[in-house]
A and B are shown apart, each in its own frame.
Chain A
Amino acid sequence: MEEGDKMEIWSLITNILLWFGLYVIVSLSLNVEYGYCGIPNFGKALSVIVGAVVAGGLMTRILMVAMGVHGDIITGSSAVSGEVTTLVKSNPLYGIVLFLVYIILALIIGAVVGAVFILPSARLKEDYLAITLLAIAETFTMVCYYNPVIVGSYYGVSVPNLFAFIPASVRYQTIVGIILITAFVVYIVLERIVESPYGRLLRGVRENEDVMKAYGRNVMNIRIKTMALGSGIAAIAGVLLTFYTLRVQPDSFMNYGRTFWTFFPFLIILLGGAGNNRGVVLGSLIFATLWELVDFYKDNIVSALHLPVEAVWLEYILFGVLMLLILFYKPEGLIPEKPIVTEPIKRKKS
Chain B
Amino acid sequence: MGVVEGALIYSNLLALLALGLTLTYMTTAVPNFAQGSFAVFGSYIALTLLRLFGIHPYKSLPIAFVLGGLLGAGSYLLILKPLIRRGANVVTLMIATLALDLILLGFRGIYAGILGKITRQPCEMFMFSYLVKPVFGVPDILLVSSLVIVLTLLGLFFLLYKTKFGIALRASVENPMLSEIMGVDVEKTRLFSWFLSGALASMAGVLLPFKQEIVPATAELVIVSIFASSIVGGLSSIAGAILGGYIVGMSESLITYYLSVVTGNAGLLVYGKVVSLVIIVVTLLVAPRGLAGIRWRKVIRWRSGR
Contact = CB atoms under 8 A, between A and B. Distances in A.
The answer to whether A and B assemble together is yes
Interface of A: 34, 38, 40, 42, 120-121, 123-124, 126-128, 130-132, 134-136, 138-139, 142-143, 146, 254-255, 258-259, 262-263, 266, 270, 307-310, 312-321, 323-324, 327-328, 331
Contacts of A254: 217
Interface in B237-278: 267, 270-271, 273-274, 276-277
B96 A327 contact: yes
B30 interface: yes
14 contacts: A38-B91, A120-B280, A127-B31, A127-B90, A128-B235, A142-B221, A263-B99, A317-B106, A317-B110, A318-B106, A323-B95, A324-B79, A327-B95, A327-B96
B91 A313 contact: no
Contacts of B227: 131, 134-135
A255 B99 contact: no
Interface stretch (B61-69, B81-89, B155-163, B187-195): B81-89
A163 B22 CA distance: 52
B287 interface: no
Contacts of A121: 284
A135 B94 contact: no
B94 A316 contact: no
B220 interface: yes
Interface in B9-53: 29-31, 33
Interface residues of B, number: 53
Interface in B112-128: 113-114, 116-117
A136 B82 CA distance: 31
B134 interface: no
Contacts of A38: 91
Nearest to B115: A308
Contacts of A324: 79, 96, 99-100, 103
B interface: dominant SS:
helix
Contacts of B109: 309-310, 312-313, 316
B231 A128 contact: yes
Given A124-B288, A130-B31, A331-B88, A266 B110 contact: no
Contacts of A138: 220-221, 223-224, 273
Nearest to B230: A131
Nearest to B231: A131
A133 B179 CA distance: 34
Contacts of B29: 127
A317 B103 contact: yes
B113 A130 contact: no
Contacts, number: 149
A139 B277 contact: yes
Contacts of A139: 224, 273-274, 276-277
B300 interface: no
Contact of A320 (B102, B231, B277, B288): B102
Contacts of B152: none
B107 A142 contact: no
A308 B113 CA distance: 6
A313 B106 contact: yes
B105 interface: yes
B106 A320 contact: yes
Contacts of A312: 109
A333 to B, nearest CB: 12
A135 B217 contact: no
B94 A40 contact: yes
A262 to B, nearest CB: 8
Contact of A307 (B94, B113, B223): B113
B98 interface: yes
Given A34-B91, A127-B29, 18 more contacts: A40-B95, A128-B235, A131-B231, A135-B276, A136-B277, A139-B277, A259-B105, A263-B99, A312-B109, A316-B102, A316-B103, A317-B102, A317-B106, A320-B101, A320-B103, A324-B100, A331-B86, A331-B92
A270 B106 CA distance: 21
Contacts of A127: 29-31, 90, 94, 235
A321 B109 CA distance: 16
A127 B236 CA distance: 13
Contacts of B103: 316-317, 320-321, 324
A300 B86 CA distance: 38
B284 A120 contact: yes
Contacts of A320: 99-103, 106
